[in-house]
Chain A
Amino acid sequence: MSKVIEDRVLDARGLMCPMPVVKASRELAVMQPGQVLKVIASDRAARTDFPAWVEDVGHELLHSGQESDGTLVFYVRKREETD
């Protein structure tokens, strides 16, 4: 895939469940539809938890990966307003 450019970065390293998802939700709430949030997390559970949440709330997970130090990285595109 071509390189994804994020509009905002959320550094959620060091946060415990469920804060990475809670904080990502707060960040996305103030972003524009179509904008991309990059989330960096260290909580192991985020690997499955985060994509599940993205799918549930209808945003788009563009890319996810893991750095060599175990840090998880997710790129989420905010969904268009459906209301």
Chain B
Amino acid sequence: MIFKQFRYEPAGQASYLVACGTAKQGFVVDPIADLGSDFYLLEAADLGVTLIGVLETHIHADYISCARELALQAGVPHHLHESALGRVSYQFSPLKDGQRLRAGKVELEVLWTPGHTPEHVSYLVEDRSRGVEPWFVLTGDSLLVGDVGRPDLLLGDAALDVMDEVERAATLYRSIKQRLFALPEHVEVYPNHYGGSSCGGVNLSGKASSTIGLEKLLNQPMLQPDAAGFASFVRETSRPVPEGYKRIKAINLGLAEREVAELAVALNAQAVDRALTRGAVVLDVRPALRFAAGHIPGAVNLQFNRPDLADRALLALPTDLEIIIHGEPEAVATEAVALLIGAGFRVAGYLRGGLASWEGAGKPVSRMRVLSVADLQEHIADFQVIDARDRHEYRRGHIEGAFLLPSSSAWANASEAPKNLALAVHCGEVARSGLVASILTRAGRNVSLVAGGMSAWRDHGYPEVTETAK
């Protein structure tokens, strides 16, 4: 038996390779596009395993699947439960409840466990080289460790959703109680999600494995007295709905296109220029001061940071924009592409060779004036100060006359900035001011960036105005 769990931490997502160590054949289960089909092909190749199928437990709403691409590349079937027929736009190999899939001595039994979604299945695995006894079950988003997969991720289209939230919750309860909890207690549980994933609730464990026996004892939602108690408990302990999930689900149903392949596309300066002409926006993920020193005209600045780049982009920008990444070095650019595609943005690719290649191609470069807080204080009458922080920070202390333009609303409200003077944009330090300053520059304003922001202003002992909280 070859068994590998691949964890993609940013999404709290687990995918699997299950293979026979003798026959060297196996299946990949629930592959994620953030890791990419090449990742799974290389993992299998390292073990000398030939893939014979790509399995999915269900159609996901919180991450983009690469099951179709992987199956296509490997030349093997892509399996989903038969009830997905008619709901997805692509061909797949339908599975029936109770069907068995074999890879050498390893056997997988399909258990239809609907609820999180109507087509949801679990895969019960036996290693026949050891005996005819189930060893573990891949539960997808039905039974999770400490929690269950939320039943409320609906598209709002009854033909695609099939069941409403109430029916899904009741069905999920039955699937777990009657199918999964009927398995022997020693059977190990390997879920599709763990930790911070929004597909579970607040009781979701950071540990990505358990056993049927332990979950029968300790799984909080399933300890509720009946299906109705289960449903209300799940609703009350859900996390906020994952961002962009409708678009991700539509992509996984084959109803929406990712404009771009799952791999980062390297674009030369001409290709970037063409994309800009058709309305694409360059997202420059370098630090704000490097952005100020030289950038592609019209670029929006949002500093790279793996844990939250995607979250901050979702707060700041609409997801229907076509985006081109400018990041340096290249590894930062390709990672930014992956993070933003994972969040549901349309990313056309990244600028290959960075600013040097752009300048080398004879393209124009814009620069932004940078002011120290001392410069600003000395010439304050020449500027309209723009405060890019949030209202609670502004109330606690701001520069006199500053106009509040929080980074999360700057894209929509850039035209509201006062038009009498040149603008000087600051935030707490410099991360959000780079974003807001770049958006205001796009809007045609004469903008300077204040280095060091409110922290530096205070360190110099310059005056500020406070408002009492409401």
Interface residues of chain A, those whose CB is within 8 Å of chain B, are 8, 14-19, 21-23, 26, 29-31, 44-45, 48-49, 52-53, 55-57
Contacts and interface: CB of A to CB of B under 8 A. Distances in A.
A52 B311 contact: no
Nearest to B314: A22
Interface in B222-238: 237-238
Interface size bracket, B side: 20 to 34
A52 B393 contact: yes
Interface of A is mostly: helix
Contacts of B455: 44-45
B255 interface: no
Contacts of A53: 390, 392-393
A48 B395 CA distance: 12
Contact of A52 (B305, B315, B396, B470): B396
Interface string B194-206: 0000000110000
Given A8-B202, A14-B307, A45-B455, A30 B238 contact: yes
13 contacts: A15-B305, A16-B303, A16-B305, A16-B308, A16-B312, A17-B429, A22-B315, A26-B239, A30-B237, A48-B393, A49-B389, A52-B392, A56-B469
B146 interface: no
A52 B308 contact: no
A30 B408 CA distance: 22
Q: Which 5 A-B pairs have the closest CB atoms?
A: A45-B428, A56-B392, A52-B396, A53-B392, A19-B308
A1 B316 CA distance: 40
Interface of B: 201-202, 237-240, 303, 305, 307-308, 311-312, 315, 389-393, 395-396, 407-408, 427-429, 431-432, 455, 469-470
Given A21-B390, A44-B455, A52-B393, A26 B428 contact: no
A21 B311 CA distance: 12
Contacts of A57: 392
A78 B315 CA distance: 24
B428 A17 contact: yes
A40 to B, nearest CB: 13
B438 to A, nearest CB: 16
A31 B239 CA distance: 9
Nearest to A51: B396
A54 B391 CA distance: 12
Contact of B432 (A17, A55, A56): A17
Given A8-B202, A48-B396, A56-B391, A16 B431 contact: yes
Nearest to B198: A26
A37 to B, nearest CB: 11
